[in-house]
Amino acid sequence: MAKVYFYYSAMNAGKSTNLLQSAYNYYAKNEKSSVANLACVLVDEAQFLTREQVRQLTDISDVLEMPVLAYGLRTDFLGQLFEGSKYLLAWADELKELKTVCFCGKKAIMNMRQDANGNAVTKGDQVEIGAEDKYTSLCRVHFKEKVTRNV
């Protein structure tokens, strides 16, 4: 029975690295099979998926009996769920959290967007492409201290 897996975390927890390792593992396991045979579906940046795209991924798992491994952020820089993450959290067969740490050493579960001076950004578009250097991962305590006090 194939499943939909959602691997989620805060920024910089190694989601893409984990995806590449999974791709290698599936390839190594199936390298003697035909190139036309797909072993699984891998999705990076799954938070950007739409509801319909997540539904289609569940169809791939349910109808084609192919594993789907989706990797993405759970929440944005204001602590709000992304659409893709919302539906993956609701519909995935297995949820797997990849962990990273806050500067204080606690588990980081939130993403803070920061300006050039390191101050929390509390307004703006949910998606800012190519701005990975503007984000830091925080525990909930420090996220609330730095971000929600200004919202």
pLDDT for res 39:
81
pLDDT score of 123 more than 50:
yes
How many angstroms from the chain centroid is the CA of residue 94? 14
CA 10/CA 107 separation, integer angstroms: 10
Give the CA count within 13 Å in the CB-facing half-sphere of 60. 20
What pTM was computed for the model?
A: 0.85
Cα torsion through 57, 60, 62, 65, rounded to 10? -140
pLDDT in tens, 2-43: 999 999 999 888 888 888 888 888 777 765 544 456 688 999
Identify the active-site residue in 45, 83, 97, 128.
45
User: How far out from the chain centre does Cα 63 lie?
Assistant: 24
Does residue 31 carry a catalytic annotation? no
Determine the pLDDT at residue 57. Answer: 97
Q: What is the per-residue pLDDT for 35?
A: 46
Question: For 4-150, which CATH superfamily applies?
Answer: P-loop containing nucleotide triphosphate hydrolases (3.40.50.300)
- Please choose, from the candidates 20, 22, 7, 4, the residue with its C-alpha nearest in 3D space to the C-alpha of residue 100: 7
Angle between helices 51-64 and 83-91 (to 10 degrees): 30
Taking the CA atoms of 124, 125, 130 and 134 in sequence, report the sign of the dihedral they define.
Answer: positive
Q: Where are the domains of the chain?
A: 4-150
Task: Compute the residue count for the chain.
Answer: 151
